[in-house]
Amino acid sequence: MKSLTSFLKNNIRDYAMLIALVVIMILFQIMTKGILFKPVNITNLVLQNSYIIAMALGMLLIIISGWIDLSVGSIVAVIGAVASVLIVKMDVNWMLTVGICLILGAVVGAWQGYWVAYVKIPAFIVTLAGMLIFRGLTFVILQGESIGPFPTGFQKISTGFITDFFNVPGIHLTTIIIGAILSLALVFLDYRTRLNERKYGFEVLPIFIFVLKNVIVSAAIMGLCYILASYRGLPNVLVLLFVLITFYSFVSSQTVIGRRIYALGGNEKAARLSGVNTPRLLFYTFVNMGVLSALAGLIVTARLNSATPNAGDGMELDVIAACFIGGASASGGIGKVIGAVVGAFIIGVMNNGMSIIGLGIDWQNVVKGLVLLVAVLFDVYQKNKS
């Protein structure tokens, strides 16, 4: 019992929002009379929030480093505009266009990162200017009109599904098998981590908690895969998100550059005196954010099957809120990838659930604002308590 109490106390930041997500989902499942968990709605929930999750991964690194980026919604719009002109009006191959847009996203991120990292202009000012600049460029490129449609291959980036190799009627068996393999892999990796921690004398979870945690995670994965398999299977974009989440989880927790980003946000002066090239590191975080914003722009454009001047409007608020709700600290140095993903799903479930029950956009913003305030209040409380 003592170990359980210690575990919950040390990991309250990680698990509080996960519990909140479960509670919110159950609440909206009841309020929507079972619509929330229907396979078609869960699939739409994943598709609708894929770009938020992608950008939250980059935003998390910027917030951990102690800064913020207000321009991501406008970058989504301008990248979509460029993609539409290249594919629809100039007949450029869509795969080549994807590469061009990702490079353009890196250039945009480098432009903003230069002013923040080397000229020392506050990121709030630089990215606020970027929000205005790129939104204006979107209207210039599109001339105030929507451009589309796009080739089927490009649309499948956001609306396609993986192929079922078994063709079993009524169920996408490939999705079930992938879920089982993923569950086993996560259990194996967690078990190996536990062995390494015991080997080097670190405190490990009680065996009961360890087993319970893996059972719950595996059940959640298999439940999600079963729901998706009951419709059309795993969306292509969910596979892409899994790769991104795995990559950024590894980078943030297992690499030197990840540890340096945390050090930068925790104490920039100390990090610099320890030999970290803090301007270059901060510069790279903005380049990374630009690339992920460009990717999100391509996903949004593919999903809508057109580029519109108002694409991405207000999206930066959901992305920033996802990071803070997921446990990132407003003062920098604290935050986890899984937390940002959970925060993004909390935002997505609230948006989806409130829309289903017919709550107006005005009250939706009120609710999301209150949730964000409570999340930051929780962070401040934990910091003062420690």
299-329 pLDDT tens trace: 999 998 989 988 888 889 889 989 988 888 8
For the packed helices 236-254 and 256-266, what is the interaxial angle rounded to 10 degrees? 70
3-state DSSP call for residue 235? strand
**CATH number for the domain running over 2-160+235-357:** 1.10.3470
Predicted local confidence at residue 225, as pLDDT: 92
- Rounded to whole angstroms, the Cα distance separating 261 from 243 reads 21
pLDDT digits (tens, 9 = 90+) for 156-215: 988 889 988 888 888 999 999 999 999 999 999 889 888 888 888 777 777 887 888 889
Mean pLDDT of 220-247: 91
pLDDT tens string 330-358: 788 888 888 899 889 888 888 888 888 88
Report the predicted TM-score, pTM, of the whole model to 2 decimal places: 0.90
pLDDT on residue 273: 87
Instruction: Tell me phi and psi for residue 378, to 5 degrees.
Output: -65, -40
Burial letters 221-256, b for 16+ CB under 10 A, else e:
bbebbebbbbbbbbbbbbebbeebbeebbebbeeee
Distances (CA, A) of 40 to 155, 175, 180, 224, 232: 18, 15, 21, 12, 9
pLDDT score of 4 more than 80: no
Distance in angstroms (rounded) separating the CA atoms of residues 353 and 358 = 9
Select from 7, 50, 108, 6 the least CA-distant residue to 237: 50
pLDDT band at 267 (very low <50, low <70, confident <90, very high): confident
Give the angle subtended at the CA of 110 by the CAs of 109 and 116, to the nearest 5°: 90
> How confident is the model at residue 107, as a pLDDT?
96
Range with the poorest average pLDDT among 88-97, 255-264, 373-382: 373-382
Give the 3-state secondary structure of residue 326. coil
Determine the average pLDDT of the residues in 235-253.
Answer: 91
Locate 279 and state its tokens.
Answer: 């301007």
How confident is the model at residue 93, as a pLDDT?
94
Structure tokens at 228: 């998706």
Q: What count of Cα atoms within 13 Å lies in the side-chain half-sphere of residue 7?
A: 15
- Per the prediction, the chain carries an average pLDDT of 88
pLDDT at residue 145, as a whole number: 87
What average pLDDT score do residues 141-158 get? 88
Distance CA 57, CA 344 (A): 10
58, with CB counted inside 10 A (0-12, 13-18, 19+), is buried
Average pLDDT (26-55) is: 89
H or E, element range at 209? helix 207-229
Per-residue pLDDT reduced to its tens digit, 104-136? 999 999 999 999 999 999 999 999 999 999 999
Give the Å distances, CA to CA, from 307 to 76, 84, 147, 263.
Answer: 10, 6, 5, 39
Q: What is the pLDDT of residue 86?
A: 94
* CB neighbourhood size of 340 (10 A): 33
**pLDDT in the model for residue 131:** 94
CA distance 160 to 223: 21
Q: Give the three-class secondary structure for 277.
A: coil
| Of 73 and 381, more confident | 73
Rounded Cα gap, residues 198 and 6, in angstroms: 17
DSSP at 357: T
User: 151 near 87, Cβ under 8 Å?
Assistant: yes
Q: Please check whether residue 85 is in contact with residue 143, taking contact to mean a CB–CB distance below 8 angstroms.
A: no
* pLDDT above 70 for 14: no
| Closest by Cα among 22, 16, 17 to 36 | 22
CA atoms of 130 and 175, how far apart (whole Å): 41
In which band, very low, low, confident or very high, does the pLDDT at 384 lie, cut at 50, 70 and 90?
Answer: low
Alpha helices in 305-336 (DSSP H): 315-325
- Non-local (6+) Cβ contacts of 226 within 8 A are 176, 179
- pLDDT > 60? residue 79: yes
**Higher per-residue pLDDT: 35 or 360:** 35
**pLDDT of res. 383:** 64
User: Which amino acid is residue 97, in one-letter code?
Assistant: T
User: 355-373, pLDDT tens digit by residue?
Assistant: 888 888 888 888 888 888 8
